[in-house]
Amino acid sequence: MTFQDIERVLATLECPFCSTRNFDLKLRCDLGYEQCLPTVRCRQCGHEFDAERLIRSRGQGDRR
């Protein structure tokens, strides 16, 4: 998924902990991987998630 795809889908998701739809999307490049990991942080409760995993867990992933 592209960063833009993730932003679009995040607008339709709720935080699994507090049910708000208020996320910050960022790239984490400090984890020692060769690529950066797109992550989201809920602005309400502060939980941080792997963006693509959150989207897949909600059944909203790209189904190509």
Q: Comparing C-alpha atoms, which of 48, 41, 44, 54 is closest to residue 1? A: 54
pLDDT at 63 over 50: no
**pTM for this prediction:** 0.74
Each residue of 5-59: pLDDT tens digit?
998 998 899 999 999 999 999 988 887 767 888 999 999 999 999 998 988 887 6
Tally of residues, the chain: 64
pLDDT at 64 over 50: no
Burial of 12 (0-12, 13-18, 19+ CB in 10 A): exposed
15 vs 40: CA distance, rounded Å: 10
pLDDT at 51: 92
Would you give the DSSP letter of residue 49?
E
